[in-house]
């Protein structure tokens, strides 16, 4: 199956260097604008393509897969998460799925620390004062935030990103705690100087900052529900740069409005870009438009992984980043 004869459909605009390389190697249909494909457009693409390159905005469920053409043999996802794809159904239909793991680790960890600092040091509030031309000058009691050195950071999900967050937070003098489905190896735990909590309830009740870094699965949906959020200290802060569905957004909003939590920094939301309007009104909440992995370097590296997966598949080999249901 020579690569140049493979029909590849890309569902969103990618960095120019990635699109150019794809066109050099394969028969590619690119997106003219940067809007998500409609369901009908996705269905049409899946009927005519050998390979589909979707993103996290494309929900590829069992219904779409049932209507896929006989040609479709690889879904090369542009992104590490694959909860937008029914991987089990795809595999049952003989369609392989690949992703781009590991690329966004450092970028997302950087953004996690940025959000922790933004909330605890009230950076957005300071920006609003300056942009509104309301600054009357320095005052000993104005815009007082909190020092993060010495605070306890609880990391929910100690995978690649969680560990990268731990290393950065330690450099700021934070004390590292974590809860994970599996405890880290002793040497890794020692290197991170991290304290493991088997009980998530016990951990969240003692943390000054909680960082959500676990994937969205059926078992993690609303893992931080209303009951568990109420266990947190009133002066604690929650930061989420992983998946919005892990946190009960309405419960979080109610607690912050009631003064039962000190604030939150969110880069992801429970219902994609539909954000609770009451959350937007809160001065002690920092909201970002899912930009945790948004660096030029990261986006290009993601594209390079997609290309390697497609090229390896075209050469008749197993894509290096093949996703199988047992791994999910």
**Phi, psi angle pair for 9, to nearest 5°:** -115, 125
Same domain assignment for residues 113 and 91: no
User: Could you tell me the CATH number of the domain that includes residue 119?
Assistant: 3.40.50.720
Same domain assignment for residues 25 and 124: no
Torsion over CA: 273, 84, 321, 4 (sign): negative
Nearest residue to 57 (alpha-carbon basis) of 247, 290, 299: 290
Q: How many domains are contained in the chain?
A: 2
Same domain assignment for residues 265 and 194: yes
Same domain assignment for residues 28 and 81: yes
Same domain assignment for residues 275 and 304: no
Instruction: Classify burial at 218, counting beta carbons within 10 Å of its beta carbon; exposed 0-12, middle 13-18, buried 19 or more.
Output: exposed
Is residue 198 within 8 A of residue 225, CB to CB? The reply is no
Same domain assignment for residues 223 and 212: yes
Same domain assignment for residues 63 and 212: no
Q: How many residues does this entry show for the chain?
A: 328
Domain that holds residue 81: 3-103+295-327
- Rounded to whole angstroms, the Cα distance separating 234 from 215 reads 26
The pTM of this model reads 0.90
Same domain assignment for residues 118 and 193: yes
pLDDT (0 to 100) of residue 217? 87
Same domain assignment for residues 141 and 76: no
pLDDT (0 to 100) of residue 2? 52
pLDDT (0 to 100) of residue 5? 81
Q: Which residues of the chain have pLDDT under 50?
A: 1, 327-328
- Rounded to whole angstroms, the Cα distance separating 235 from 16 reads 45
Same domain assignment for residues 98 and 111: no
Q: What is the pLDDT of residues 242-273, one digit of tens each?
A: 999 999 999 999 999 999 999 999 999 999 88
Same domain assignment for residues 112 and 67: no
Helix boundaries (H) for the chain = 16-25, 39-48, 62-66, 87-92, 105-120, 123-131, 160-171, 186-192, 200-204, 226-229, 249-257, 277-280, 296-314
Q: Return the H-helix or E-strand segment holding 7.
A: strand 7-10
Q: What is the pLDDT of residues 59-95, one digit of tens each?
A: 999 999 999 989 999 999 999 889 899 999 999 999 9
pLDDT (0 to 100) of residue 326? 52
Same domain assignment for residues 97 and 53: yes
- Dig out the tokens for 245 from the structure: 């569905």
pLDDT (0 to 100) of residue 101? 93
């Amino acid at each position: 199956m020579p690569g140049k004869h493979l029909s590849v459909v890309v569902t969103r605009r990618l960095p120019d260097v990635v699109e150019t390389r794809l066109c050099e190697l394969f028969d590619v249909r690119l997106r003219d604008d940067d809007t998500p494909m409609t369901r009908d457009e996705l269905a049409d693409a899946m009927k005519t393509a050998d390979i589909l390159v979707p993103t996290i905005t494309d929900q590829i469920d069992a219904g779409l897969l049932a209507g896929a053409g006989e040609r479709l043999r690889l879904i090369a996802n542009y992104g590490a998460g694959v909860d937008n794809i029914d991987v089990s159904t795809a595999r049952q239909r003989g369609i392989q799925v690949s992703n781009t793991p590991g690329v966004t680790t450092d970028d997302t960890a950087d953004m996690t620390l940025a959000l922790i600092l933004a909330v605890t040091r009230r950076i957005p509030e300071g920006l609003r004062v300056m942009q509104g031309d309301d600054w009357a000058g320095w005052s000993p009691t104005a815009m007082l935030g909190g020092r993060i050195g010495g605070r306890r950071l609880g990391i929910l999900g100690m995978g690649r990103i969680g560990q990268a967050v731990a290393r950065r937070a330690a450099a700021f003098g934070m004390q590292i705690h974590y809860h994970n489905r599996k405890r880290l190896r002793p040497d890794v735990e020692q290197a991170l100087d991290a304290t493991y909590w088997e009980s998530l309830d016990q951990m969240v009740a003692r943390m000054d900052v909680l960082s959500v870094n676990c994937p969205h699965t059926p078992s993690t949906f609303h893992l931080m529900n209303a009951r568990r959020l109420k266990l947190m200290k009133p002066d604690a802060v929650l930061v989420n740069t992983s998946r919005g569905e892990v946190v009960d957004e309405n419960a979080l909003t109610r607690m912050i409005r009631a003064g039962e939590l000190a604030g939150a920094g969110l880069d992801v939301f429970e219902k994609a870009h539909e954000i609770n309007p009451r959350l937007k009104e809160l001065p002690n909440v920092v909201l970002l438009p899912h930009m945790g992995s948004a660096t030029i370097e990261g986006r290009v590296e993601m594209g390079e992984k997609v290309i390697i997966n497609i090229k390896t598949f075209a050469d008749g080999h197993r894509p290096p980043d093949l996703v199988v249901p047992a791994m999910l």
